[in-house]
Structure 1
Amino acid sequence: MRRRNLLTGAMALGATAALGTSSAEAAEGTVEDTLFRLPSAPPVPLARLTQEIMKARADFRAAHYTVLGQSLARLLAAATATRDAATGHERERANIALARGYVLAAELALKQHDDSAWVAADRALTAARASGHPVPIGESSRVLAITMRRPGRIPAAVQFLGHEAKNLDTLRPQTGAVRTTLMLTAAYTAANGGDRTTALDLLNAAEEETDRWAAQPNPELFTVDANKAQVDVYRIGAHTALGTPDEAVEVAARLDIDRMPTAERRARAWTDTARMWHALGDDRQTFAALRHVEQEAPQEVRRPAVRALTSDLLYGPTRVPGIREFAGRTGASFA
């Protein structure tokens, strides 16, 4: 009941040919190019489509963003054609695959600071709702809320996440896990709006949810996890956003990033740790965390937000050994 009330309170505020990528198409483009220039493609067998969606997911989780970007256009085109040709239960499954393809497109656009993330997230949620399945609906809702947060629509994003989370069944591990990820995103969103009470209450509620399922195998979600480590990562980010990074130091000390299952999540954790140290004025610790990001996911350090952080160190008053070379190979000296 407390968690329900908390959310209410937050609210008040040709298979291979179709899916392959030719060498001519291997040049990296923006997600916007992908979304508005989908090629024609025939339907493919659902098993093949699901396999290719999972391959694209693996590229994202490994932080192979260039490879993912190269495959998205044909993947989304094939998924759309397959959905349009299907009926009944097969159409539901095709809509799930299509929704998850657009979730990946939205995630990639968000990393590129590409405004077309709005389009991808909206298309993801439309396909997810058409499938009628709560897990992809939750996954799509999460990325849509992030696109709302970026331009400052924070109260609307928190309200939307609260509404979607409230509608998820907490008795099943997978839907409960998705609900937890929505609460974590809502907590970080509230923190970006300076709402400390809502942010910390949502983080505590999310932690209670992970405790509830601690004795069971952790349900596998599509792009993010719902476990204690993720709660701690979001705590670090939330405290930094709230202007209280000192409260995150103890959290960072207990977080075992090496045990996190994917390169993308490990890189995200090190990025949030770098931001924490930067907010505390410790340039050497900031750079050490950025080096960990590079070790985990070299393409992650070329993201605009991470390059901006590197530039702050490069042009800051403290001399940080190795930062100039790091900035040069990550493109930050030109940010």
Structure 2
Amino acid sequence: MATGPVPAWAAAEPGLSAGDVAAARRLFAAGAYTRLGEVLPLLQAAARSTEQGPAGAARAAGVWVLASQLAVKQGRTGPAGAFAEQAGAAARRSGDPVVLAAAARAAATPLRRTGRTDEALLLLAEARAHLLSGARATAADLEEAGLAALTAAYTAAQAHRPAPARDFAAQAEEDTLRLARHPHTPGRPRELTAGQCALYGIGIHRHLGDIDTALAHARQLRPDRLPTAERRARAATDTARTLLDAGDAAGAFTQLRLVKAAAPLEARRPAVRALTAHVARLRPGLPGLGDFVARTVVSPG
């Protein structure tokens, strides 16, 4: 970030460039949520004031997607939904199916958290169909289509709907195989990979009540091959939840330590703090747990 173009939040007259959005996205991927929270208001102001044409609308959509994702991390479902709506509106103005699908994925989490599962699944299915409607899908189309399918599979599983959850997961795996046949752009980590499918498989099968299969996905996953700190932390979080469901509180604590190692601020998210507190209630005497709770669960100051 320090060697690229001056970001909007540092410019004398704020604008919004693709580099700004990419820099903010890197903050999210690194789990740098405090810094992202500091710069997002400036990016949002820039998105409102400088959006011009399809390209500007796409950049604005990227900002609102990030705002929604950060709100989800903070447990703020209402703002996450509002930001996702703004992302969707900007994405529609862009006319770009990839941007539309990213906005649909952002919208799916607040929708499912507010009981609107059918709406979320329809949005994701339509976004994926739009991406794959052409004669020849690009690598970007396939990647976003697979990510939409994974989000849909998790959404269906959380609503205890096994058939659509498995169907969407299979679609994601198919998209992943197709994407693997495309040349890989150097310097740009791919989000849709077999590892990403395995990561989602942990949560999907856990929500469907199949703990053995969820743990099998966790065992096959290579966290070091996941592209970002945020994804590595997510893998450890989902594995911790699954181990806790299996009655292995000590194993869950090991995974929670991996969450903190991957992205320290992930360990302080409300959902992860609640998970840590649950482990502490079950096994308060685990070595190192007291200090871990003090560092992650207890609010500083």
TM over 0.5: yes
Q: What is the CA distance between 1:322 and its match in structure 2?
A: 1.3
Q: Any idea what SS the aligned residue of 1:319 has?
A: coil
Q: Which amino acid aligns with 1:20?
A: A
Q: Give the equivalent residue in structure 2 for 1:28.
A: none
Q: What is the CA distance between 1:42 and its match in structure 2?
A: 5.3
Q: Tell me which of 258, 267, 274 is aligned to 1:301.
A: 267
1:51 to 1:333, Cα distance in 2 relative to 1, 3 A: closer
Q: What is the CA distance between 1:276 and its match in structure 2?
A: 1.0
Q: Which amino acid aligns with 1:101?
A: V
Matched, 1:316 2:282: yes
Deviations along 1:246-292, whole A, 9 cap, x unmatched? 11222111110011111011111111111111111101110111100
8 Å CA contact retained: 1:302, 1:332: no
Matched, 1:273 2:236: no
Q: What is the CA distance between 1:294 and its match in structure 2?
A: 0.3
Deviations along 1:282-314, whole A, 9 cap, x unmatched? 011101111001000000000111011000011
1:217 to 1:330, Cα distance in 2 relative to 1, 3 A: farther
Q: What is the CA distance between 1:18 and its match in structure 2?
A: 5.7
Q: Tell me which of 54, 64, 72 is aligned to 1:92.
A: 54
Q: Give the equivalent residue in structure 2 for 1:121.
A: 84
Structure 1-normalised TM-score?
A: 0.81
Structure 2-normalised TM-score?
A: 0.90
Q: Give the equivalent residue in structure 2 for 1:38.
A: none
Aligned residue runs from structure 1 range 258-269, under 5 A: 258-269=224-235
Matched, 1:108 2:70: yes
CA distance in structure 1 between the partners assigned to 2:225 and 2:173 by the alignment: 18
CA distance in structure 1 between the partners assigned to 2:255 and 2:184 by the alignment: 27
Q: Any idea what SS the aligned residue of 2:293 has?
A: helix
Q: What is the CA distance between 1:207 and its match in structure 2?
A: 0.6
CA distance in structure 2 between the partners assigned to 1:59 and 1:272 by the alignment: 22
Count residues with an aligned counterpart. 291
Q: Give the equivalent residue in structure 2 for 1:141.
A: 104
Q: Tell me which of 64, 74, 77 is aligned to 2:45.
A: 77
Deviations along 1:136-160, whole A, 9 cap, x unmatched? 1110111101110112222221122
Q: Any idea what SS the aligned residue of 1:167 has?
A: helix
8 Å CA contact retained: 2:139, 2:179: yes
1:200 to 1:218, Cα distance in 2 relative to 1, 3 A: farther
RMSD after superposition = 2.3
Q: Give the equivalent residue in structure 1 for 2:199.
A: 233
Q: Which segment drifts farther, 159-168 or 123-132?
A: 159-168
CA distance in structure 1 between the partners assigned to 2:54 and 2:266 by the alignment: 34
Aligned residue runs from structure 1 range 194-209, under 5 A: 194-209=160-175
1:224 to 1:182, Cα distance in 2 relative to 1, 3 A: farther
Q: Give the equivalent residue in structure 2 for 1:3.
A: none
Q: Give the equivalent residue in structure 2 for 1:185.
A: 151
